[in-house]
Structure 1
């Protein structure tokens, strides 16, 4: 015969090192949980100090302030009569651990350190924390004096243990432990644990939420029970966005789940199960609106292409969400909006009107710009409501070239006018860099020119595929304060624009989607664009996405990538054509990798992001002419006669396929080729 119990899980918008704000949000979530009758409240990973403290975890101040917050929580009347499960760093025997602290009525019940660390992709936990490797072992932890004064306890249990009550047994997992093939919930389920909890700081990545849901469903499908999942939400100061999605699963079914993206302070989900006699309430807090103390909005160079239009649509979607939140009575969002626009009486009613106040777009034309892109940029700006400007950069470009000519006595020419490849590239780059300078000038002074206070943040619009190949000018208009689409592929951006066209009635996007991507940095031919991105790169954006995933996710070098692609693309490309694309990619990647050290910060959204020294730990200086890693014999087969190339490819494929499965014979290899 079961008994009812009410439990709560939450998502909090915690900031690294915002101890006061983090404490206030923790207390609010506990108060909300108690208001719905919860007897147990679960919060996200390292919620007291914030997950993204990074090397601040080395500082004794971080540990000290975490205990000060813990003391405030223990003393607060809000935390009475409810089991509170909070996260913080703790030093035990001079070793730093990532821990959960469970307490009830001013008594610490146990401290559970993390056992399996996240140490790949965006995560570097072993840099700051040690894993607890003592399975089913509990030691005594000596509490700091400031905590002893509140609890009356000298020591508390520290280690791998569970919490048993009269009615049930609760076991803890922490974030990455769920993703591990030897997850703690497996053994805990065998030992009779009925409620599994997971305190997480899991970042948003395209298509990742589905994996997370499946893991949680699987955890309780195997052994039964209830799984509570808490997560951080929002950006805590670095390049990742934590996407919430707190949830509750019972016996393999998700019975309550919070939203990924919301501006509401608290989102509640409830479920009542008569079969299992559990009543579940889930509370989630919102993403706070991040605004600059000196900023009054954003400025974007809008070219009329897919990338800059995607950035513009993201801002417009933000305005839609803000207006909905204000209409729903969200006072915190209204306060933030008023602070940005500098009007304490302002009340947004329409997304287009709000967009006009906080968003400035500018089309930066040159003699190489077409009327098609100019009109596409203008039409989109009109539909989203941004304050739009047309700026001609020719005078600035000619002025810079005039300085060069005065010093050298030479005037460079485009390739179309007989110039060399070096001249042609330099003339493209000077246009791109002038646009960056002008973008910052107008961002700083355009509001001043209109008699308004404050400045604007410059938004960038380079996608993840362009970053992968370095297909942009270093310090050009892709350089900005922040790049909302820097972690998103061109393919996904097109899907996003199609969604905006259909759901937000932004009809101007249809012509943008139909146009070929172009930088418009070379002279027009009969008034039409003669330069396209895909022709310059020697591959399509969809092909580049495949190559990017093979490079990062499948961990392929040139040889293994070629071996995979001649099978994947066998219906469309010959082995020689595949070889040329792989060779061209690695040459571009090697020559342009240095650009990743200066790329505009963007939030991480794609699993093959080349973000330097954070997600993609690779050198930034390469010799593009290296024979083996640059392709060597393999990629030079395209230069050989057909018969010789065939022999080389056959030989290499024999080696490669034999390592995968011994059953592959020569006839199978010939079929693949």
Structure 2
């Protein structure tokens, strides 16, 4: 009979190529796991170099430095008495693999390469790594000399195997492998594995966590077992935000959950589990028969009756029945409750109970995810804050509100207790974190320009915003008093340093120069000008705002007696980018854009949420205002409106975007899918016109995506050209063949009995 064992997994805010920082966070997580009395610690994917190294993985330096960091970890006392699962790239037989290394007592027990690589959407792992395709097979890997000097080993098993301790079997699964139809945990579990580890770098996307949790629960619901899921957290220097939320499941139920959005650099969750419950869960005779069948067959090597190679580890995860006496050769954990000589009756250790999984609403996800991403970007770029052109419209309002949410998180972290156990009712009761308070305080003091010996502790988010956030209303003669007042009130309520200016003199100077050179004076459409003149005059204003934004971002800290510069924030939402409803190199061109992957519909819901949650009643005025660019003159008969300009609503754009990207529809298949959806209110010809207009505008504006500001990825239909949406930017924009086929179908429908109805 076995006794309850404690296991730990974590989320780490790793940073690509930050080898010193990454090592320190790894060591801290191991120490926290030891303090929880754990015998197993699992970390996120590629945690030593950082997951987001991308083409740096192709550099020998990255592999070399990873070994050097691993050597320092092995040389320390970190792995004494605890089995540690860490990740790094390894070159084996001149082939690069994404690997997990199981460490114990200064030694490498096993190296497990990734079998199935993430290679779609945001991921390009096969650009750097090769999958290990030899199921159930291993090689001997010759260790670098620097490792041999520490651990005395010259070779270690490398490949698809499982680790056998004295009392259980442990199998490794990596991120994407959980999402594949034939996941490794199935064959591992049938071959006796009771504890599964999964090290991931899974990014945040709105409404995505539910899928991840259900897959983890399903992994052990039918199979039985303990599943430890670790995840990267933070921006890692790219568009993605990895949202942490480590999880532990037992027999299909979640028993421990970490936070999904946090400023913590290190979070460790632990659970106490009873392996006898796993064995009891596996009593089914049909399961036993499948386990017996698996051990033969050609997939295991020409019909040989064998399963996975067992790699021995002289180690007990729990304690034997003879817990009162130390077992000869027994590995114990110094300083922890695993020392049998000091251990209280282990039979009295309660096992972890199932917890209700905490899911944030989409509005909360928007408030927290981009805010954490912005904080990471700000503190790691070592700049002095953010600057945004605040137009008085809902998009820049949403961006400013997210910055305010960031300030709220910073103030909350500054007032939390030091390294401690967290008692959040929505997460596991045993969640340990490092001293986030000191780290956040040091960062915010440096960003705000405080001296090194400063004792300043911000009391309100407005106090933080006033030091690190500048907003600017850039008005022209086409601007309304309503938008000016809304911008000013919002800036005041969130505490931002606000600038209010008119830029008419600059616009006049540009148009005056054009007139002097060409002898022509362009006019707006409402004044009798052509569409070409009208568009050009709008774009002049938009692009000048970008120039002013960078000028004020660079010089405002100097004006205020500080130093350094500010990062410029963009505020084009995902729907406007998809449609191309933005001016190339206008104020949508910025350093980063926290809402570039969020739909207009979700942004409006977020603003309604923040109005109450953040006590910002001014946000109601933004919700009821008609979206307008205010680039054309306002007359008694005409006020520019975004949806009228676009020829489609924002709700329609969201539908077009999901069908184009997620459902992978071209013009014809999109038309056929929308016919039954919209056919109750629109005839086939009207549906066709909407589809053709969308694809025409999308295609002719696709080139704008090549210069799109790096945006927080939050939506599955993002048009981000740089990595997520790899489509051309030069199209036959009228799609002559595709549109002709749509028209032919419309004609048939109109002459059919159903069409006549």
- Structures share fold, TM-score greater than 0.5: yes
Deviations 1:63-99 (A, max 9, x none): 1111111111111112211111100111111111110
1:577 to partner: Cα distance: 1.4
The match for 1:138 is: 138
Identify the residue that residue 433 of structure 2 maps to in structure 1. none
Distance 1:177 1:671 in 2: 48
Q: Does 1:337 align with 2:444?
A: yes
Residue of structure 2 in register with 1:479 after alignment: 589
Unpaired runs of 5+ in structure 2?
278-348, 356-371, 418-436
1:8-407 matches, cutoff 5 A = 8-272=8-272, 276=277, 279=351, 289=376, 290-291=378-379, 295-329=383-417, 330-344=437-451, 345=454, 346-407=456-517
How far does residue 296 in structure 1 lie from its aligned partner after superposition? 1.4
SS in 2 for 1:77: coil
Separation (CA, whole Å) in 1 of partners of 2:750 and 2:733? 23
**Kept after mapping to 2: 8 A contact 1:294/1:454:** no
Match of 2:674 among 543, 555, 565: 565
CA contact (8 A) 1:6 1:278 kept: no
CA contact (8 A) 1:570 1:672 kept: no
Measured in 2, the distance between the counterparts of 1:511 and 1:521 equals 20
Single out whichever of 578-587 and 554-563 deviates more from structure 2: 578-587
Q: Which residue of 1 aligns with 2:651?
A: 542
Distance 1:529-1:484 versus aligned 2 partners, 3 A rule: farther
Cα offset for 1:103?
1.3
> How far did 1:626 drift?
3.3
Secondary structure of residue in 2 paired with 1:375: helix
1:431 and 1:509 map into 2 onto residues whose CA distance is 26
Q: Is the 8 A contact 2:668 2:741 kept in 1?
A: no
8 Å Cα contact 1:464/1:490 also seen in 2: yes
Distance 1:459 1:88, change over 3 A: same
1:136-163 CA distance string (max 9 Å, x none) = 1111111111111111111111111111
Give the counterpart of 2:640 among 527, 531, 544.
531
Does residue 1:605 correspond to 2:605, yes or no?
A: no
TM score, norm. by length of structure 2: 0.82
> Please, what is the CA RMSD of the aligned residues?
2.0
* Aligned counterparts of 2:227 and 2:197: Cα–Cα separation in 1: 6
Is residue 4–residue 273 contact of structure 2 (8 Å, CA) maintained in 1? no
Deviation per CA, 1:613-643: give whole Å up to 9, x if none: 30001111112133024x2241x46xxxxxx
Q: 2:605 matched to which residue of 1?
A: 495
Q: Deviation digits for residues 556-611 of structure 1, max 9, x if unmatched? A: 00000000011111223221111111111111111110001101111211110010
Mapped partners of 2:415, 2:503: distance in 1: 42
Q: Is the 8 A contact 2:9 2:269 kept in 1?
A: no
- Separation in 2, partners of 1:428, 1:358: 31
1:434-449 alignment runs, 5 A limit = 434-449=544-559
Question: Per-residue deviation at 1:268?
Answer: 4.9
| 2:239–2:710 Cα contact (<8 Å) kept | yes
Alpha-carbon distance in structure 2 between the residues aligned to 1:613 and 1:432: 23
Q: Distance in 1 between matches of 2:272 and 2:193?
A: 21
Match of 2:230, SS state, is strand
CA distance in 1, matches of 2:750, 2:578: 27
For residue 632 of structure 1, the aligned residue among 740, 743, 753 is: 740
Rounded to whole Å, the distance in 1 between the matches of 2:134 and 2:683 is 55
Deviation at 1:266, TM superposition (A): 4.2
How far apart, CA to CA, are the structure 1 residues paired with 2:492 and 2:43? 44
Match of 1:584 in 2: 693
**Is contact 2:7–2:271 with CA below 8 Å preserved after alignment?**
no
**2:735 equivalent to 1:647:** no
Q: Judging changes above 3 Å, is the alpha-carbon distance between structure 1 residues 495 and 191 closer, same or farther for their aligned structure 2 residues?
A: same
* CA distance in structure 1 between the partners assigned to 2:756 and 2:142 by the alignment: 65
Q: Is the 8 A contact 1:6 1:280 kept in 2?
A: no
State how far apart, in whole Å, the 2-side matches of 1:671 and 1:177 are: 48
Determine the C-alpha separation between the residues in 2 that align with 1:617 and 1:632.
26
Counterparts of 2:243 and 2:714, CA distance in 1: 11
Q: Distance in 1 between matches of 2:67 and 2:194?
A: 30
